[in-house]
Structure 1
Amino acid sequence: MSAEPVGAERRAVIVGAGVAGLTAAIALRQRGWQVEVLERAAGVEPAGSGLSLWPNGLRGLDVIGVGAAIREQSLAATEGGMRDTAGRWLSRTDIAALRDRYGDLVVIHRNQLSDLLRTALGTGPLRFGCAVEAVEFTGRGVRVRHSAGTTDADLVLGADGINSTLRATLWPRARRPVYAGYTAWRTIVTPAEPVLAGGETLGRGQRFGIAPLRDGRVYMFGTANLPAGQRDPGRELDELRRRFGSWHDPIPALLAAADPAAILRHDIYELPPLDTYVRERAALLGDAAHAMTPNLGQGANLAVEDAVTLAAVLDRAPDIPGALTEYDRIRRARVQPLARLSHRMGAALQLALPAVTPVRNAVLRLAPDAAALRALGPVLSWAPPA
């Protein structure tokens, strides 16, 4: 393969304006690329959820210069772990020790993170209401046809989520996302009394999670083993109260403060592993490449890792196809074991058999808290490539 022309300005089309796409766009622009981000949605869509940014993700965000602003607008985690439905601790996460060993752990509203990334990118490269229709390779480049016309580029990146259009177009034989066996409700509430501690509570075949945000609001979620496709618009909060309303404080108070119209419900799907994340001059990032269950809390963090890794290898490789080959090797080795781990964690945390869940809880109680901290090492110690 021949090297790219010296001094030529390289151009990338990025499909999707989520965490992966915006981070990649910023990282590439900082390295002299011309970028165009195509987002199918007509505008910024409100997201009624929060997310955790772990030390590995924050290191990647530091690379593109937004880490400090994110820390200012997020809440540093203070307490975490798992409880039973009566509120007794099954395991506790030593947040101070985690921070000392690996770095910051924060919780932020998803919209705030998106706003900070869009501000860092600027409005010029971002086109809303622009759906990709076709992609074709043209020797030394790629042509992307979309609802606003045609763009010729050196590289196209698919960062358009688990139901990626780019993946469906260029990876037509890839297996479709698979239902993980449980559904999730999410919302953000403003409680009457401050909630300072987060964590998860385990029941039989269902869980409830709490994550305080910086402004006094609380992100909360519930999961339950149910068939896919069940919806009852307008009554989802009733279902949450039925399932979790008798659990320990502050869960009943949070449910009492919730707005029925603000409850989001999504079935949890995961993407079977791909043989490759790249094809010619195309690459997949984030959920488009490796959507996994949310049990590790690493979705946004791994998307950031993908983006800054891709930008770094494009910077140091003599040609784009060679850089993509290196990106694929690095990221599949990193991400696919974590996807399997997250799947196994979900299977354990969603256990429903009456004879099995007490055993699970007993194992959690007996396991040293320090062991969980050590187990996080391979996940949280990631550092951006030079």
Structure 2
Amino acid sequence: MIPVKVPTGAHRQRTGGDMTGIGSTSAARSAVVVGAGICGLTSAAALAGRGWRVTILERAKDLAGIQTAGALHLWTNAMLALRRLGLAEAVEAVGLPIEQTEYRDHRGRVLATWPVGRIAREHGVTDLALGRKDLHDALARAALDRPGVRLHLGVECTGATQDDTGVLVTLDDGRTLAADLLVAADGIRSGLRAALVAPTQPRYSGYGQWQAVLDRDHAAGLLPVGVERIMFGRGRRAVVHHVRGGRLLWEGILYGPPGRAALRERKSLLLRELAAFAGPVLAAIEATAEGDIDAQDVYDLPPLNRWSTGRITLLGDAAHAMTTNLSQGACQGIEDADVLSECLARVPDIPEALAEYQRRRLARITPLARRSRRVAGIGGLSGPLSTGVRDFVMARALSTVALRDHRNFVAAMP
């Protein structure tokens, strides 16, 4: 656990090594962002875009060390946030537009089709499919190109104290770093979260996720470009869509006890477990080299009722890691960065601004995270009767109430 103290009394002296001196002694306010993942980079770019000086602390020795495999779908709401932050163009340059999202059963029968491309265009943006590494690289370039942003690699935050004048961050080499604001974007196992709120342990979602991005030569002809296909089976799920360069993401989701993601024989496991799936899933897995398959058990966090204390706040998975069922994890972290920077620009007092950020984000995130958890349970149904009923209901709900709710959700200001 990282100790976070809130001292009282007189103004605190800011001291330390060559990383100090970025506090509020000049007109520009300063922030320390812990974590250089997608959410940390977006928040750094967002704050710098509003005139803040930002130092990013990342414990890995290079950015490649924190880049994860696979790809993701940035829905309309995330693209709207990126547009407000001036980052949409940089992200669009490495993404591939998604025109429609198909929901099918494992035999290939269409349950519903969402016109996500048209919905995005109604709001002046584009739904995008991106490789996670491509998105991370684009955000890193965009953030570090903004004046006032510095990245320190191989550095770990071991503690922080704060008072009414600022925050003092302690580093693992004993140096200290002074700032006006501390943003913890250090992921689902955030040490700062454990210190800010009651220690909260990640909980297993009930499934593991295997994925890879297939190269252009092997992906050709497996799926129409611009289509995202999500397929539901008995205690299994699969997702396929293209990313830039003719490559194809595939994901296999298997429900069951934790630990199977650590097995070495990943390819044979998937080919066996997903044997009943129609369409491109098995062909994509078969064409993938064993060593290119990434696997992990999926965890989320119970919804928190507090993200901030004083001048310190949580952002992204550190605050609200959720299951992958709604594909909103990264999207909501991007929204966090947008709302955080907007609140800090509008409300001069930092603790008050963070309280407003927390209020707005809790109202949006909490029901979404609970819904994602419920959908995870529905996806885990495995009996022939229960999955038949599920698919029957989904075929009707996805085309009506769920699509309407999606339109309202992605268009709503976070």
The answer to whether residue 169 in structure 2 is matched with residue 150 in structure 1 is: no
Q: Distance in 1 between matches of 2:184 and 2:275?
A: 41
What residue is the counterpart of 1:109 in the other structure? 131
Tell me how large the CA RMSD over aligned residues is: 2.0
Counterpart contact for 1:38–1:131, Cα < 8 Å: yes
What residue is the counterpart of 1:320 in the other structure? 350
The answer to whether residue 114 in structure 2 is matched with residue 84 in structure 1 is: no
Q: Secondary structure at the match of 1:188?
A: strand
What residue is the counterpart of 1:333 in the other structure? 363
The answer to whether residue 197 in structure 2 is matched with residue 175 in structure 1 is: no
Moved more, 92-101 or 183-192: 92-101
What is the CA-CA distance between 1:38 and the residue it aligns to? 0.6
The answer to whether residue 297 in structure 2 is matched with residue 270 in structure 1 is: no
Q: Distance in 1 between matches of 2:286 and 2:84?
A: 41
CA gap 1:232/1:327 in 2 versus in 1, 3 angstroms: closer
Q: Secondary structure at the match of 1:73?
A: coil
Count of residues paired in the alignment: 380
Counterpart contact for 2:233–2:277, Cα < 8 Å: no
What residue is the counterpart of 2:50 in the other structure? 31
Q: Distance in 2 between matches of 1:350 and 1:233?
A: 21
What residue is the counterpart of 1:374 in the other structure? 404
Task: Give the residue type in structure 2 aligned to 1:169.
Answer: A
Moved more, 202-211 or 227-236: 227-236
What residue is the counterpart of 2:250 in the other structure? 220
What is the CA-CA distance between 1:107 and the residue it aligns to? 0.5
What is the CA-CA distance between 1:214 and the residue it aligns to? 1.9
CA gap 1:333/1:214 in 2 versus in 1, 3 angstroms: same
Q: Secondary structure at the match of 1:162?
A: coil
Counterpart contact for 2:119–2:407, Cα < 8 Å: no
What residue is the counterpart of 1:141 in the other structure? 166
Counterpart contact for 2:114–2:403, Cα < 8 Å: yes
Residues 172-321 of structure 1 mapped to structure 2, 5 A cutoff: 173-190=198-215, 191-194=218-221, 195-196=223-224, 197-321=227-351
Q: Distance in 2 between matches of 1:309 and 1:232?
A: 37
CA gap 1:119/1:176 in 2 versus in 1, 3 angstroms: same
Q: Secondary structure at the match of 1:376?
A: helix
Listed one character per residue, the Cα deviations across residues 135-168 of structure 1 (whole Å, up to 9, x for unaligned) are: 1124411111112421011111110111012112
1:48 aligned to which of 69, 78, 81: 69
What residue is the counterpart of 2:150 in the other structure? 125
Unaligned runs of 5+ in 2: 1-22
What is the CA-CA distance between 1:218 and the residue it aligns to? 0.8
Q: Distance in 1 between matches of 2:117 and 2:143?
A: 33
The answer to whether residue 382 in structure 2 is matched with residue 349 in structure 1 is: no
Q: Distance in 1 between matches of 2:119 and 2:160?
A: 44
Q: Distance in 2 between matches of 1:166 and 1:229?
A: 27
What is the CA-CA distance between 1:234 and the residue it aligns to? 3.0
Unaligned runs of 5+ in 1: none
Listed one character per residue, the Cα deviations across residues 16-71 of structure 1 (whole Å, up to 9, x for unaligned) are: 11121111111111222111101111212342211111111111111222202322
Listed one character per residue, the Cα deviations across residues 335-372 of structure 1 (whole Å, up to 9, x for unaligned) are: 11111111111111221122211111111223462433
Counterpart contact for 2:99–2:118, Cα < 8 Å: no
Moved more, 200-209 or 78-87: 78-87
Instruction: Give the TM-score normalised by the residue count of structure 2.
Output: 0.87
CA gap 1:368/1:263 in 2 versus in 1, 3 angstroms: closer
Counterpart contact for 1:66–1:116, Cα < 8 Å: no
Moved more, 102-111 or 297-306: 102-111
Counterpart contact for 1:143–1:153, Cα < 8 Å: yes
What is the CA-CA distance between 1:317 and the residue it aligns to? 0.9
What residue is the counterpart of 1:160 in the other structure? 186
Q: Distance in 1 between matches of 2:295 and 2:88?
A: 30
What residue is the counterpart of 2:11 in the other structure? none
Listed one character per residue, the Cα deviations across residues 252-297 of structure 1 (whole Å, up to 9, x for unaligned) are: 2101111211211111111111121101110000110011111111
What is the CA-CA distance between 1:233 and the residue it aligns to? 4.2
